Structure 1
Amino acid sequence: MKKMFDVTFCLCFWSLFGVFGVETDVLESVSVTEGDSVTLKNNDTEILRDDGIMWTFGPKQILIAHIKREAKNVINDAADGRFRGRIQLDQTGSLTITDTRTTDSGQYNVTTKSKETLLKIFTMTVYAHLPVPVIISRNSSQCSSSSICVLVCSVVNVTQVTLSWYKGNRLFSSVSVSDLSSTVSLHLELEYQENNIYSCVINNPIINQTKHLNITEVCQTCSEDYTCGYGFTEAVIRLVVSGLVGVAAVAVLVYDVRSKSVGQERREQTTSLK
């Protein structure tokens, strides 16, 4: 029983040491935008004289590049093919990745060739380019007699982002997503007469895109000559009625003119008979 306890204790201690036993100066986080180039620097160049180094990637620590101690040659292995043609390893042991992709995100370990010493751990995150947010009004298809305009700011196909409404420089509301989302949207209600400056911003830890709100373009109020509160059908009825009234007025005018003309003719005939 005691032996089992000793073995369990040793295993747990070894596991904890594997997680927490790494010195903080060995860990480094790197963030880049998709398409950029990044260099993961090896600071311990002295090790190349004695052992050489190797770079591995991902949870399975796939070998992607190494320097042989004997010939000091740069070898690009790229065992899984994902880095083929996009990595370079210089004579200092620093690794450069060009044309970065979101699939390049992950952990990179640089160790001595004999694997006896862990030199550095890089945790890299590659963020996709962000689209410019789109602002629409829910009642923008026709003007509204309401005093409130309902706006929707949205983006599509994004991950690890925050979408926010700002009123001037002050955060008004926000929503965050971590997984890939087909659509992310955020609502805003304001009065048509409001003259504050609003903007919709999408951002991740390193970049952002902003769309400023022009309320006169997005939210349309009704003109004085057209009252939207009546609706389309009632507006047509009002137009037809107005037309009929106009026709009636013209008919009355014509009748009045003809009546006066007939009366004048009769008076002239009466005068001539006398």
Structure 2
Amino acid sequence: MEGYSVTLNTEMKDDDQIQWRFGTENSLIAEINKRVDRFTVYDDVLDGRFRDRLKLDNQTGSLTITNITTEHTGNYKQKSNTVENHFRLTVYVEISVMEGDSVTLKTGLTEIEDDDQIQWTTTFGTELILIAELKKRSYRITDDFLNKRFRGRLNLDKQTGSLTITDITSEHAGVYNVYNKRVDINFALALYVEISVMEGDSVTLNSSLTEMKDDDQIQWWFGTERTLIAEINKEFNRFTVYDDVLDGRFRDRLKLDKQTGSLTITNITTEHAGDYKLQIATRKMSLKAFRVSVSDSVHCCGPTEAVIRLVLSALVGVATVIILVYDIRSRRAERDRAHIHTSEIELSFLTNLFCIFVRINKLWLYMFIFFRKY
């Protein structure tokens, strides 16, 4: 994902000389000479697109690219004395929205040239589907495929080629690509799943996977700072939680499901409220987003719950008045018939009134628990 980091892994022997190269120009971006203990990065090449972003591992020779952008999409080659490895790196622009929102996928172009031909595609299963195409003098939108899920929702900017999707539903989440001779950008579009939880409870963020594949890589990120809190690399059988980040707010609270990659947060507090992102990388990229809200024990009511409480309170109030009126009339009639002493009536009345309120409060509590549960 754009803004994240990626490591291209390799192994290095004691006498190795390693070169890292990028792109069709085969530009040298880093090299290692283990014999003379020299490790060099050339991050000013290609107009400085790698400046302050390259890190070499002195032990393994692996190359890490930090704060990655779509400019770093392309082919990487690592060559040593004995082996040559090739990597194809695809960088996705991450976009997360709420259901019903609109989103614009931008090409980054200011104006379409005369010979430009821009194509927008999305994937459905293993199939790549053209959904929009723009030339200088013409454009077309193919929004009737796949049960018409895009019908009336796609708009093309004729000047820049950017694509807007309106009234988004879960059917529109997925991967999109825009391509022409000047741009090649991938977008990962996800919808937020909203989750509300009480402070002290546990919550599981579901990956929607039934079982991870052998080459799956999963990363869980938290907050606007995009802090990595957990990851799985199935190929190396590595399952890691980083619960000491962010001043230890997740310490001893994170649990990873090794079969599905789902993440559980236990004994949750208001510090854990916020946005969580799940990135699943195999041959394809997918993104899931969760927005978790945590209510404390005092302010535990959402809008729906507040309405329920108001209705219940009104019903309890009406019931109380009816019962009191009935009780008073009954007591007066009983007093007239039996000529019971006034003080005895008042004591009995207060005792019964207290019992009535206890029963009403119990009824209110049971109804509240019922609505909270269902």
- Please report the TM-score for the alignment, with normalisation by the length of structure 2: 0.35
More helix by share: 1
Larger-Rg structure: 1
- Please report the TM-score for the alignment, with normalisation by the length of structure 1: 0.46
Q: Greater relative contact order: 1 or 2 (C-alpha under 8 angstroms, separation 6 or more)?
A: 1
